[in-house]
Structure 1
Amino acid sequence: MQPLAERMRPKTLDDYVGQQHLVGEKAVLRRAVESGRIPSFILWGPPGVGKTTLASIIAQTLKRPFHTLSAISAGVKDIRETIESAKKQKFFDTPSPILFIDEIHRFSKSQQDSLLGAVEQGIVTLIGATTENPSFEVISALLSRCQVYVLKPLEKDDLVLMLNQALDKDLFLKNRNIILEEYEAILQFSGGDGRKLYNILELVTNFQQEGETLSITNEMVVEKLQQNIALYDKDGEQHYDIISAFIKSIRGSDPNAAVYWLARMIEGGEDIEFIGRRLIILAAEDIGLANPNALLMANTCFQSIRAVGLPEARIILSQTVIYLATSAKSNSAYLAIGEAQALVRETGNLPVPLHLRNAPTKLMKSLDYGKNYKYSHDYEGNFVKQQFLPDAVKNKKLFEPQPNLAEEKIRQKLQQDWGDQYQY
């Protein structure tokens, strides 16, 4: 028997629940589908919000050949064979077959490169699905040829509607005496993930005895999930909650908790490169100048786990996580760039001071470009005071050293060199 989530998979846009900003009346993606002309695009959103379902509905609505590949199992050879098959299905001015690639962020650069020609030439219309930011995970050449549509976690009303539809319409549930007395626990555990929602409902209803009425309460849901935690967690469905707990444990300098959440992710089948990328971000955002070696450590970790893979990668990850968790913390660099960007948005394109401008021509020199610039290396200690910010913001302080050993030295050096200008 198919799982409940598969049995309840909608077949039309009218049956599709959620994402009204994309598929509601007059929404951008719905208009494209109704026109019969869709661009190549990438669906970016958390698990269980209907990315695969939406791609399938679009293909069925447009009556186009539909090819699917999973980035987890497909290689370059599979991509080329699928593209060759699509070529044979395209005649003259007929619309392109649709190629759906699930988890496209897992494709390597060479795999993504192999798609470029087919997308450019219109041999296929690409629909990619990803839980990761495509700006970081999809090569720029491919990304520039695709629209990106962002899918949101399903809202409470969407999830309640899905539950009621399953109880009213599912072939196996509609004739059983099931009363959904309380929704809160199922909604909380689903976390906006429709597939998880149906998995929980199916798990709970499996405990119904033949002929009896099943009343679903919050207490019952919690009890049954705790008894079946392995089933509930086996595919790492708590992806977002666990990575949040992981990052916050490292930021909070608790190596015990950090290693625990690392183990939960590894045991749940999380992509180790995803973990590695998050450690790089954390090293810069939460440790920063308090320990610049943290970023080197995180980068080395990422390259190492790529090279060796599991199971040995778990040791490298553990070493790095403990190092980062026990390191001094600072977010001064993170705050500084935020302050600087806010200042730029507020003040616009302020002119570069004349003495800092490049002067490659006689005309520019005659206009005083570069005049009075002081070359730091000509002065004692390789430093000389001069103005580097635009006049309108020349006294603005953006970087604030924080009270840790490394940044205390930075503070002292700035005050020694600049005096009142860097007096904190």
Structure 2
Amino acid sequence: MDLFDFTPEEPKKHQPLAERMRPRNLDEFFGQKHLLGEGKVLRRAIETDRLTSMILQGPPSSGKTSLATIISQMTNAHFVRLNAVSLGMADLRNAVETAREDYKLYQKRTILFIDEIHALKSNVQMSLLPAVEDGTITLIGATTESVMHDIIPPLVSRCRVYTLTPLSDEEVKEIIATALTDPQRGLGEEDLSIDEDAMRYLVDVSNGDIRNALSALETAYYSLWDTKTITLEKVKEAYQLRLNNTSTTDFYNLTSALIKSMRGGQTDAAIYWLARLLYVGVDPLYIARRIVVHAVEDVGMANPHALQVAVAAKEAVQFIGMPEARLPLAEAVIYICESPKSNSAYKAINKAMDLVRNTKAYDVPADIRDGSKSYVNPIDHPNSRIAYLPPEVNGSSFYKPQNSGVEAKIYARYFGEKGTQ
């Protein structure tokens, strides 16, 4: 049976507490005031049944499926729910053809809700484009992943993207309190109470994921024997693992935080973000590669040894694996954080690449061609005049040393002790 077959007025007692406590209308919907507050565009579109194709992007348990449930109950359109994980091209084609026939014969619109839309292969996403563009279907896609990385750009451009944010601690606390007192859908008939420290822990450990918070609350309730009070001990027994799951968006944000902390020389912050990446199960070899890139991009000529340390850390990760691999990664991160910084090599190659990209492929000067008869070794003949660049780009300057670390010696040679050329 599909989720949308359940009527909000008739909660099923055998359902998990988190399912029973789903909001039944927009007034019961917690969070997302930036989207669903009074007068907001999305709320008005739902209330007036004038939805356009959209993608709901947000972390788990931020309300994407609950919002789709509410829309299914408020719209006059035919509402179809599909899950991308098990969705094939034939199923999608049938849904679109049915939508086309419904509108042709009965002038009935179709809203197609695709959960986990990021799981669709790119060619299947492409097949949606004509139906979305001509209005055959109004698409609502839900994803926990990055729209920019996991959804094809042509589909994104045809949809409004609404970003849902994690529930705040106060919102989680309010939902838990409601679940404890609601006699119809919650645990109100049991006359339960919860200690303040247990409530604080439950709110904190849920990390904004109300589904897991309610599941833990329900488990703690089932464990009660001769008391009606849910204690901190019971919550901890029910919730033994702090959930710090990461989506694609979180993954890129965490990686960005690590890189920028290293660039800023913020060692404690960098170690924290490294720990976060490792804790959620990011491939340590991926982290090692990012450290190698940073060693040359932002430390570079100021401390050339940083590249050696980073590469050694990468090889150590491959050699020993986790969990010990966290140690060479931490060492490399600390070394890079504490190193002087220079991005002169990064700027030099980018400037040269831009010139190559925007000019023709000039001939290699005769002096430095393979087998050249006019080439003179400059080590033996330091005053020899050799053409190293094509005459069309002669005089171009790419490398500008920075007055930092080891590179300060090169800087002085280029610009003199006072920093003037």
TM-score (structure 1 length as normaliser) = 0.63
After superposition, the Cα gap between the structure-2 partners of 1:317 and 1:106, relative to the gap in structure 1 and judged at 3 Å, is: farther
Distance 1:80 1:150 in 2: 28
Taking a change above 3 Å as real, the CA distance of residues 279 and 420 of structure 1, as seen in their structure-2 partners, is: same
Note if contact 2:116-2:144 (Cα within 8 Å) is conserved in structure 1.
Answer: yes
Q: Deviations over 1:64-117 (max 9, x none)?
A: 222223333323333223323333333368463122222222333212112111
Q: Which residue of 2 aligns with 1:12?
A: 25
**Structure 2 residue corresponding to 1:105, chosen from 118, 123, 129:** 118
Taking every aligned residue pair, what percent have the same amino acid on both sides? 32
1:329 maps to which of 321, 327, 336: 336
Residue aligning to 2:66: 53
Match of 2:239 among 201, 220, 225: 225
Give yes or no for contact 1:4–1:198 (8 Å, CA) kept in 2. yes
- Change in Cα spacing, 1:385 to 1:11, as seen in structure 2 (3 Å) is closer
1:204 aligns with 2:210: no
CA contact (8 A) 1:283 1:324 kept: no
Structure 1 CA distance for aligned equivalents of residues 66 and 403 of structure 2: 50
Residues 3-402 of structure 1: pairs in structure 2 closer than 5 A: 3-91=16-104, 94=107, 96-169=109-182, 170-171=184-185, 173-182=187-196, 183-209=199-225, 212-226=226-240, 229=241, 237-240=243-246, 265=280, 284=293, 288-290=297-299, 327=332, 329=336, 377-378=389-390
Structure 2 distance, partners of 1:68, 1:221, is 35
Query: Counterparts of 2:295 and 2:218 in 1: how far apart (Å)?
Result: 41
Q: Aligned with 1:31: secondary structure?
A: helix
1:258–1:322 Cα contact (<8 Å) kept: no
Deviation by residue 1:278-323 (Cα, 9 ceiling, x = unmatched)? 77766655774557799999xxxxxxxxxxxxxxx9x999999888
Aligned equivalents of 1:55, 1:276: Cα separation in 2: 38
CA displacement at 1:240 relative to structure 2: 3.9
Conserved in 1, the CA contact under 8 Å of 2:96 and 2:136? yes
Task: Using the TM superposition, give the Cα deviation of residue 22 of structure 1 relative to its aligned residue in structure 2, in angstroms.
Answer: 0.8
Q: Partners of 1:78 and 1:318 in 2: how far apart? A: 43
Larger-Rg structure: 2
Q: What is the aligned partner in structure 1 of residue 367 from structure 2?
A: none
Any unmatched runs of 5+ in structure 2? Answer: 1-13, 300-305, 313-317, 348-357, 360-386
CA contact (8 A) 1:330 1:402 kept: no
Change (3 A) 1:264 1:21: closer
Aligned residue type for 2:44: R
For residue 139 of structure 2, give the secondary structure of its aligned residue in structure 1. Answer: strand
CA contact (8 A) 1:44 1:133 kept: yes
Q: Which amino acid aligns with 1:99?
A: L
- Any conservation in 2 of the 1:59–1:66 contact (CA below 8 Å)? yes
Q: Could you tell me how far apart the structure 1 residues matched to 2:228 and 2:309 are?
A: 54
Count of residue correspondences:
342
SS class of match (1:11) = coil
Q: Following TM superposition, by how much is the alpha carbon of 1:162 offset from its aligned partner in structure 2, in angstroms?
A: 0.8
Deviation at 1:156, TM superposition (A): 2.3
Matches of 1:109 and 1:320 in 2, distance apart? 35
Look up the equivalent residue of 1:131 and give its one-letter code: T
The answer as to whether partners of 1:259 and 1:322 remain within 8 angstroms in 2 is: no
- Residues 21 and 185 of structure 2 are in contact (CA less than 8 Å); yes or no, is this contact kept in structure 1? no
Cα distance between partner residues in 2 of 1:280 and 1:70: 35
Task: From the superposition, tell whether residues 263 and 419 of structure 1 become closer, same or farther in structure 2 (CA, over 3 Å).
Answer: closer
1:207 maps to a residue whose letter is: S
Deviations 1:339-370 (A, max 9, x none): x9xxxxxxxxxxxxxxxxx99xxxxxxxxxxx
> In the aligned structure 2, how far is the partner of 1:81 from the partner of 1:317?
47
Are 1:288 and 1:330, in contact at CA under 8 Å, matched by a contact in 2?
no
Rounded to whole Å, the distance in 2 between the matches of 1:160 and 1:138 is 34
Structure 1 letter corresponding to 2:208: G
Question: 1 CA distance for matches of 2:139 and 2:308?
Answer: 41
Counterparts in 2 of 1:143 and 1:324: CA distance versus 1, 3 Å: farther
Task: Give the aligned residue type for 1:69.
Answer: L
What is the aligned partner in structure 1 of residue 369 from structure 2? none
Q: Provide the rounded CA distance (Å) in 2 between the counterparts of 1:285 and 1:402.
A: 16
Deviation (angstroms), 1:127: 1.1
Letter in 2 for 1:189: V
Instruction: Answer with 216-225 or 123-132: which moved more.
Output: 216-225
Superposition RMSD on alpha carbons, in Å? 5.0
In structure 2, the CA distance between the partners of 1:414 and 1:223, relative to structure 1 (3 Å rule), is same
Q: Note closer, same or farther for the CA distance 1:145–1:384 as it changes in structure 2 (3 Å cut).
A: closer
Q: Is the 8 A contact 2:56 2:64 kept in 1?
A: yes
Unaligned runs of 5+ in 1: 298-312, 341-357, 360-374, 389-396
